[in-house]
Amino acid sequence: MLSQLTIERILCAALLYAGDFAEIYIESTRSNSLSAINRRIENVSSGIDFGVGIRVMDGVRSVYVYANSTDENVLIKMAKDASASLHSNKCSVAVPLSAIRQYSTSAPVFLPDSRPDALKADLLRQACDIASQYDARITQTGAGYSDLSRDIIIANSEGLYVSDHRVRTRFSVEAVATKGNEKQTGRHSPGAGKGLEFIDEMDLNFLATDAARMAVTMIEAKPCPSGRYPVVIGNAFGGVIFHEACGHALEATSVGIDASVFAGKVGEKIASDCVTAVDDPTMLYEWGSYSIDDEGVEPIANTLIDNGILKSYMIDRLGSRRMNMASTGSGRRQNYRYCPTSRMSNTFIAAGKETPEQIISDTEYGIYASSMGGGSVDPATGEFNFSVNEAYLIQGGKVTIPLRGATLIGKGDDVLMTIDRVADDLKLAQGVCGSISGHVPASIGQPTIRVSQMTVGGVDA
């Protein structure tokens, strides 16, 4: 890493010709990953990433330069070039750095490198074995383990000087069921902001068995009917609906340039009364948590929607300048190769008071999407789509036959208004969210909810 003196010199250089704000982000990351297919260890890799990103801002204009060099001369030249490219007459001076403030998002009990990889490999084989023994129709299995240990330093021309230590661990298991010419998959991939204690605490038996159960259930499933139906969406990964359809459109990235359906609507009703939604990076050791964001700002538990009323957006430094609102500590980036922007962390719909059973028994005919896949959204139009990994038909208030090949589509602003039931079984699930500042770990979640009417795309037209 770089010395305080070097960092101060770089910040001065970054404001030499123009700019009202300069920031440096220094990152060093060690990572390991292992994967197995059919219990055979196919890939093992380890690496060191190192890099430095320098940003200079002038109002809402900015320059971002990055390199993986530790050479002070190279970095100072980059900083000067960045400053010069802004072509502005406005100049400012960097405030001397305060004493470094050290944060630690993670407090791993066991560091990723504290156990030999052979033990992690055993765990992958075990997962494959459990999944393949579940049923004769399971023909392929896969498992993966990955960890990351990252140290960052952020300093800026306002005197901020902070560091953070982040450790994340993730495990995945996948099962493929075959019947004739057809294949269906089931998968779980939990993760946490923890060290190896995460794999000690996880229920390997449940994860592998349930992935296999999902694959076998889906191989026997009927094609999903298409049309407009009431849809009951299960908890945990079901939160992808809120993440895609509403979360992205509440980020300053789109709100700040008026390219969101929710721009300028704070205080207005944008969802039905039963919807309260939160983005909370402060949850202890959760997958999408952090003690400081990638701009060095301490985050807050941010209530986005309170009983249907829009309360807040997710705002980074640039968004804060564009929107004239304070940062919510939502500036995130995949690594030093990305300029930070506003992103979600752990984003979920809060628990209601009903039970999932009540909601289903009150639904005469519809679709129960018990496990969701991924999706995408156009924040400008609010149009979203997401796939359903495991779905069932609801008939006469009862969950009946399994359905496959279902896709849910709609518009974010419509769907928020048509959520008519919210259960009490809130649960989070872990994923990776991609946007203009790269792929960041994000948790999504919700209790079981019902949308009164939704377009369901299926094979059975």
Residues of this chain, 275-314, that bind another protein according to CB under 8 A: none
Nearer to another protein, 290 or 338 (CB): 338
Please check whether residue 288 is in contact with residue 442, taking contact to mean a CB–CB distance below 8 angstroms: yes
Binding to another protein, residues 74-93 (CB under 8 A): 78, 81-82, 85-86
Contacts of 206 (CB under 8 A, 6+ apart): none
| Sign of the torsion formed by the C-alpha atoms of 129, 134, 140 and 141 | negative
Report the alpha-carbon angle 346-347-349, nearest 5. Answer: 135
Token couple for 34: 């292992």
Q: Say how far apart CA 416 and CA 451 lie, in whole Å.
A: 8
To the nearest 10 degrees (0 to 180), the angle between helices 117-133 and 204-219 is 40
Nearer to another protein, 291 or 341 (CB): 341
Does 262 interact with another protein (rule: CB under 8 A)?
no
Contacts of 22 (CB under 8 A, 6+ apart): 11, 14, 15, 54, 55, 56, 57, 79, 83, 94, 156, 157
Binding to another protein, residues 175-214 (CB under 8 A): 176, 178, 181-185
Does 259 interact with another protein (rule: CB under 8 A)?
yes
Among 386, 393, 416, 449, binds another protein (CB under 8 A): 386
Listed residue (102, 104, 143, 103) closest to 126, CA to CA: 143
Does 22 interact with another protein (rule: CB under 8 A)?
no
Listed residue (344, 345, 353) closest to 448, CA to CA: 353
Binding to another protein, residues 95-154 (CB under 8 A): 116-118, 121, 139-140
Nearer to another protein, 99 or 461 (CB): 461
Residue 121, classed as helix, strand or coil, is helix
Nearer to another protein, 292 or 416 (CB): 416
Nearer to another protein, 145 or 161 (CB): 145
Nearer to another protein, 178 or 361 (CB): 178
Instruction: Give the interface segment with another protein, choosing from 35-43, 188-196, 264-272, 345-353 (CB under 8 A).
Output: 35-43
Q: How far is the CB of 182 from another protein (least distance, A)?
A: 6
Q: How far is the CB of 435 from another protein (least distance, A)?
A: 12
The helix (H) or strand (E) run that includes residue 384 is strand 383-395
DSSP 8-state secondary structure symbol assigned to residue 193: S
The pattern of x and - marking residues 332 through 371 that bind another protein according to CB under 8 A reads -----x-x--------------------------------
DSSP 8-state secondary structure symbol assigned to residue 460: B
Residue 113, classed as helix, strand or coil, is helix
Q: How far is the CB of 102 from another protein (least distance, A)?
A: 23
Nearer to another protein, 78 or 292 (CB): 78
Does 420 interact with another protein (rule: CB under 8 A)?
no
Q: How far is the CB of 120 from another protein (least distance, A)?
A: 8
Does 258 interact with another protein (rule: CB under 8 A)?
yes
| Sign of the torsion formed by the C-alpha atoms of 441, 64, 252 and 314 | positive
Q: How far is the CB of 104 from another protein (least distance, A)?
A: 23
Nearer to another protein, 266 or 380 (CB): 380
Nearer to another protein, 53 or 299 (CB): 53
Question: What are the backbone angles phi and psi of residue 165, rounded to the nearest 5°?
Answer: -120, 125
Listed residue (453, 98, 443, 10) closest to 236, CA to CA: 443
Among 2, 67, 202, 325, binds another protein (CB under 8 A): 67
